[in-house]
Amino acid sequence: MRTLEENDELFLNLMRLNTTFYWRGHELELKGDHIQVNTPEALVELKENTSEAFYDHVRLERENNN
């Protein structure tokens, strides 16, 4: 099993791909400098598996209610 810091490194490398990545049943949008998630559950799952140092790279997409 990878450590939280090893997961940080994995996701930092994956973000460079600028694509959609499916991880543990969640859709992650890899955007180069951050990962965009579409659900609060995906956000929690990602934060549980990375260190606090990585949290700034994760963003929850919010629906536009206009």
Tens of pLDDT, residue by residue over 7-53, are 999 999 999 999 999 999 999 999 999 999 999 999 999 999 999 99
Residue 22 included in any domain: yes
Residue 14 included in any domain: yes
Extended beta strands in 1-66, E state: 20-23, 26-30, 35-37, 58-60
Residue 65 included in any domain: no
Tell me how many domains the chain contains.
1
Domain that holds residue 12: 4-60
Q: Which of the four pLDDT bands, split at 50, 70 and 90, describes residue 62?
A: confident
Q: Which of the four pLDDT bands, split at 50, 70 and 90, describes residue 63?
A: low
Three-state secondary structure call for residue 54? helix
Residue 20 included in any domain: yes
Let me know: does 32 contact 24? Beta carbons within 8 Å.
Answer: no
pLDDT computed for residue 66 by the predictor: 45
Residue 33 included in any domain: yes
Residue 66 included in any domain: no
